[in-house]
Amino acid sequence: MAIEVRIPTILRSFTGGAKSVEGSGATIEELIADLDSRHSGLRDRLVDEQGLRRFVNVYLNDEDVRFLGGLTAPVSDGDTVTVLPAVAGGAR
């Protein structure tokens, strides 16, 4: 089962420069674990003890996975997952 995962510039050091990689799993959590088995360290940049890191956006097709249950969101063959670092900041 193949799910395309699009990797942002800042995380391509984990994928040997690749803009997109393939992975498998039944949920976002399993997919990230699968990716980490080949791209060690990637999981740590996406997930912490609380779940998805607050300033990382993960999208399943056209939806933010936060609206789909976060790490437990189901994924299937043919889906596209996009990772984008949130653009954020501020005076404080």
Partner 1 sequence: MLTISRALLDQIIAHARADHPDEACGVIAGPAGSDLPERFIAMTNAERSPTFYRFDSLEQLAVWREMDDRDEEPVVIYHSHTATEAYPSRTDISYASEPAAHYLLVSTREPDETEVRSYRIVDGAVTEEEVLITDGGEE
Contacts with partner 1 by CB under 8 A lie at 8-10, 55, 57, 59, 62-64, 66, 82, 84-92
Torsion of CA 4, 41, 65, 20, to 10 degrees: -20
- Please name every residue paired with 21 in a beta bridge, in sequence order, or none if there are none: 5
To partner 1, the closest distance from the beta carbon of 9 in angstroms equals 7
Distances (CA, A) of 75 to 24, 50, 65, 90: 9, 21, 10, 34
To partner 1, the closest distance from the beta carbon of 58 in angstroms equals 9
Identify which of residues 31 and 81 has a Cβ nearer to partner 1 in the complex: 81
The distance in angstroms from the start CA to the end CA of the chain is 44
To partner 1, the closest distance from the beta carbon of 22 in angstroms equals 18
Identify which of residues 15 and 33 has a Cβ nearer to partner 1 in the complex: 15
